[in-house]
Amino acid sequence: MGGDKHYDQIAFLVRKGELELGPSENNAGVLNYYKAVYTEDEAETYFPLGKANGKWPTTAAKRRTYFANEWRTWQMSDHLPLFVELRIDFTEKYLKRIREGEQPINPPTPDATDD
């Protein structure tokens, strides 16, 4: 869960000139919920619940590693959620194009020859 893998992605179709990130400073990234739940400091708190499966190590240091790398990923996930904030209101640009006599942009559609 180092956040450095490329198999979790967000994909979408965009119209030319209409891909803009949202105004927030943190407008894209990974939500690491392990900073709020099942934190590494809570390994001993969950030890009584987890030892019922018989796999929890006997030493505190090994329990902490097991908790962080295995047990908590079974409770939540080993894939952290991705997010992106996109600007979606292009009304002004759209109306300006119409006022200037340009044709409105139609939504992208898959090519009829694509399978």
User: 27 pLDDT exceeds 70?
Assistant: yes
Question: Residue 84 pLDDT more than 80?
Answer: yes
Same domain, yes or no: 54 and 73: yes
Residues 38 and 27 in one domain: no
> Does 4 share its domain with 27?
yes
66 and 42 inside one domain: yes
Shared domain for 86 and 68, answered yes or no, is no
Residue 107 has pLDDT above 80, yes or no: no
Residues 44 and 26 placed together within one structural domain of the fold: no
User: Band of the pLDDT at 58, cuts 50, 70, 90?
Assistant: confident
Q: Tell me how far apart the alpha carbons of residues 10 and 105 are, in angstroms, rounded to a whole number.
A: 24
* Rounded average pLDDT over 57-86: 89
Residue 9's domain comprises: 1-14+21-32+82-107
Measuring CA to CA, which residue among 80, 110, 78, 105 is closest to residue 94? 105
Is 95 a domain residue?
yes
| % of the chain surpassing 70 pLDDT | 85
At 2 the pLDDT is 61
Going from the C-alpha of 62 to that of each of 43, 47, 49, 57, 67, the distances in angstroms are: 10, 12, 16, 6, 8
Residues 39 and 1 in one domain: no
Same domain, 54 and 28: no
Residue 114 clears pLDDT 80, i.e. is over it: no
What is the pLDDT, as a whole number, of residue 55? 79
Same domain? 45 vs 73: yes
Residue 110 has pLDDT above 70, yes or no: no
Q: What gap in Å lies between CA 22 and CA 19, rounded to an integer?
A: 10
Residue 66's pLDDT band (cuts 50, 70, 90): very high
Q: Is residue 69 part of a domain?
A: yes
As for how many domains the chain has, the answer is 2
Does the residue 113 lie in any domain? no
